[in-house]
Amino acid sequence: MTSVKDGLKKEKLESDFLYFTRYFFKNNYNRKFVVSPHHQKIADKLQEVIDGKCKRLIINIAPRYGKTELAVKAFIAYGLAINPR
């Protein structure tokens, strides 16, 4: 039986990409994903892709700025969480 708290967490995980990223980063690496302004901008653009507002997206940013964590690992997992088909 799921509690109200679990239901709210599931709803938040499925509706907020950056929350999803931070939550699973903490569970996978046992440390916090520190969100910087550039992470927020990337997350906003990736959310536009999920929402269908952006059909093509290129992210040009230097290495070691969290691009792979956000745009590859978390983005694919988030897409599968929303629509597992």
The token pair at 52 is: 């269908």
pTM of the model: 0.86
Q: Mean pLDDT of successive 10-residue segments in the chain (85 residues)? A: 78 93 96 96 95 95 94 95 90
Predicted confidence at residue 2, as pLDDT, reads 63
Predicted confidence at residue 5, as pLDDT, reads 80
Burial of residue 42 (CB within 10 Å: 0-12, 13-18, 19+) is buried
